[in-house]
Amino acid sequence: MAIILRLDRVMADRKMSLNELAEKVGIANVNLSKIKTGKISAIRFSTLEAICKALNCQPGDILEYKQEDEA
């Protein structure tokens, strides 16, 4: 996948636990864990907005585009 999720890095920089962020964002720990590990294919803008608000960051801090090599 060409989109890489960096939520774990931003959370570590902010010293925020998964449970704390899940509570602030208002989503279940299991769903936030899937976002953190990149095991999702989509994310709602409202969820992304809530995560950015809770972590005081920009979407670009969490999402990264990496061009895939053509084989």
pLDDT at residue number 68:
81
5: β partners: 63
Residue 71 within any structural domain of the chain: no
| Residue 70 covered by a domain | no
Check residue 33 and give its pLDDT: 94
Report whether 21 contacts 55 (CB < 8 A). yes
Q: Are 7 and 61 in contact (CB under 8 A)?
A: no
Asked if residue 49 is part of any domain, the answer here is yes
User: Count of domains in the chain?
Assistant: 1
The reported pTM is: 0.88
Convert the pLDDT of each residue in 28-38 to its tens digit.
Answer: 999 999 999 98
